[in-house]
């Protein structure tokens, strides 16, 4: 029997991407989808690419009726909106994957610091699992609530995990210089998202205070078994999809490029969505466009002794909806690649 899926907040980019990917999934079926802003509309008015694939009519949302006959709810909501709803769904014994930020940070105080908001159900934080399958697969298998990671954190944590887990770099002086396409910022209309302000332009934003820093430092500290701080600088690039993170670290042991490569191959040997690259094939965002892959290349700069790791993902797939489906597969005992072996679109 197929996994019966409900989506709350289907009209955003991640909601649309969930639909696109689930339509190609052999073991899951979208049974219900809701949207406050588009209640009652045909979903293809909002996602015109899906016309002919699905004609789901979105309902008024009522919790008991919504979760009836549903095995899993994807929440694709702004932070602060997921938590109270998750409490209600959890109480009805239905599994949850939250694509928003409410369950990523385990410490309610830290959540408050980064999101300037009291957490609505701190008691559920320890029930929830940070849904980065390459790191937390075992816990995800047993979880009722999975907190799907942010797009930037996915790219940065995957870039650094082998180094920190193997204690080969200093926990000081880690810098993540990340560049993202515009869909990462969602559909909201702002001066920043106006075509004429993005096209032929490039700039950094939220230097040193982007909310994703909280979950990045939480997970890197776990991996490195000691609290650390990072510099994280996001930039906005004139393209729709894709994140490239260029991550700088200082080795504390003598390493050659070959050993560095082996360390990554070993760490990711059972991870079907990690593709390791090298200096002759540095990760390009277009290579992962539309796919659930994360391409990673760890580079040793012999002249300066520094390690630079590049990682590329599609922010809407491995950085959001694809990873959510990977988590669903794991939670329901399927092969984690089920329905996700779509090659990226190129060019």
Q: What DSSP state is assigned to residue 18? A: H
Strand 145-147 to 95-98 pairing: parallel
Nearer to its own copies, 39 or 345 (CB): 345
Beta carbon of residue 16, minimum distance to its own copies (angstroms, whole number): 6
Sole binder of its own copies in the list 65, 116, 238, 262 (CB under 8 A): 238
Nearer to its own copies, 14 or 82 (CB): 14
**Residues in CB range of 50: below 8 A, 6 or more apart:** 16, 19, 20, 23, 43, 44
* Residues 161/311, Cβ–Cβ less than 8 Å: no
Beta carbon of residue 94, minimum distance to its own copies (angstroms, whole number): 26
Q: Does 80 bind its own copies (CB under 8 A)?
A: no
Q: Does 13 bind its own copies (CB under 8 A)?
A: yes
Sole binder of its own copies in the list 1, 93, 123, 189 (CB under 8 A): 189
| Order of strands across the sheet that contains 274-276 | 203-204, 231-236, 175-180, 243-249, 306-313, 294-301, 274-276
Q: Does 56 bind its own copies (CB under 8 A)?
A: no
Q: Does 344 bind its own copies (CB under 8 A)?
A: yes
HSE (side-chain half, CA atoms, 13 Å) at 226: 9
Nearer to its own copies, 225 or 281 (CB): 281
Q: Does 106 bind its own copies (CB under 8 A)?
A: no
**271 noted as active-site residue:** no
Sole binder of its own copies in the list 31, 104, 119, 275 (CB under 8 A): 275
The mark string for 140-179 relative to its own copies (x by CB under 8 A, - otherwise) is ---------------------------------x-x-x-x
* Residues 162/318, Cβ–Cβ less than 8 Å: no
Sole binder of its own copies in the list 145, 287, 296, 313 (CB under 8 A): 287
Beta carbon of residue 213, minimum distance to its own copies (angstroms, whole number): 8
Q: Does 57 bind its own copies (CB under 8 A)?
A: no
Tell me which residue of 242, 244, 207, 213 sits closest to 230, measured CA to CA.
213
Catalytic residue among 121, 151, 271, 294: 151
Strand 231-236 to 203-204 pairing: antiparallel
Q: Does 256 bind its own copies (CB under 8 A)?
A: no
Q: Tokens representing 99?
A: 């694509």
Of 114-122, 145-153, 154-162, 189-197, the segment contacting its own copies by CB under 8 A is: 189-197
Of 84-92, 147-155, 186-194, 325-333, the segment contacting its own copies by CB under 8 A is: 186-194
Sole binder of its own copies in the list 11, 34, 289, 315 (CB under 8 A): 289
Distance of CA 239 to the CA centre of its chain: 18
Nearer to its own copies, 122 or 344 (CB): 344
Nearer to its own copies, 246 or 327 (CB): 246
- First-to-last alpha carbon distance for the chain, in angstroms, is 37
Q: Does 194 bind its own copies (CB under 8 A)?
A: yes
* Residues 111/214, Cβ–Cβ less than 8 Å: yes
Tell me which residue of 81, 149, 153, 152 sits closest to 115, measured CA to CA.
81
Tell me which residue of 259, 239, 253, 256 sits closest to 314, measured CA to CA.
239
Which positions are annotated as active-site residues?
A: 151
């Amino acid at each position: 029997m197929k996994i019966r899926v409900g989506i709350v907040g289907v009209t955003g980019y991640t909601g649309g991407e969930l639909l696109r990917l689930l339509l190609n999934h052999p073991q899951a079926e979208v049974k219900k989808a809701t949207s406050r802003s588009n209640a009652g509309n045909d979903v293809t008015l909002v996602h015109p690419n899906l016309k002919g694939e699905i004609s789901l009519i979105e309902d008024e949302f009522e919790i008991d009726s919504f979760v009836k006959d549903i095995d899993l709810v994807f929440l694709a909501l702004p932070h602060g909106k997921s938590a109270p709803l998750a409490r209600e769904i959890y109480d009805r014994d239905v599994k949850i994957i939250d694509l928003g930020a409410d369950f990523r940070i385990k410490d309610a105080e830290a959540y408050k610091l980064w999101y300037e908001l009291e957490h609505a159900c701190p008691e559920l934080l320890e029930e929830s699992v940070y849904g980065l399958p390459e790191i937390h697969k075992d816990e995800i298998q047993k979880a009722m609530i999975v907190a799907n990671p942010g797009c930037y954190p996915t790219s940065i944590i995957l870039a650094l995990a082998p180094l920190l887990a193997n204690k080969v770099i200093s926990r000081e002086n880690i810098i993540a210089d990340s560049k993202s396409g515009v869909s990462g910022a969602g559909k909201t209309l702002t001066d920043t998202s106006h075509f004429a302000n993005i096209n032929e332009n490039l700039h950094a934003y939220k230097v040193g205070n982007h909310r994703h820093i909280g979950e990045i430092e939480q997970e890197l500290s776990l991996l490195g078994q000691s609290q650390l701080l990072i510099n994280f600088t996001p930039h906005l690039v004139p393209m729709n999809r894709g994140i490239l993170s260029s991550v700088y670290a200082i080795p504390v042991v003598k390493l050659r490029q070959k050993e560095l490569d082996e360390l990554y191959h070993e760490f990711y040997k059972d991870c079907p969505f990690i593709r390791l690259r090298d200096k002759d094939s540095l990760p390009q965002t277009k290579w992962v466009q539309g796919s659930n892959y994360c391409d990673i290349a760890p580079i040793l700069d012999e002249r300066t002794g520094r390690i630079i790791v590049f990682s590329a993902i599609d922010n809407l797939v491995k950085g959001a909806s694809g990873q959510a489906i990977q988590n669903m597969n794991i939670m329901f005992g399927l092969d984690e690649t089920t329905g996700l072996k779509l090659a990226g679109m190129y060019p």
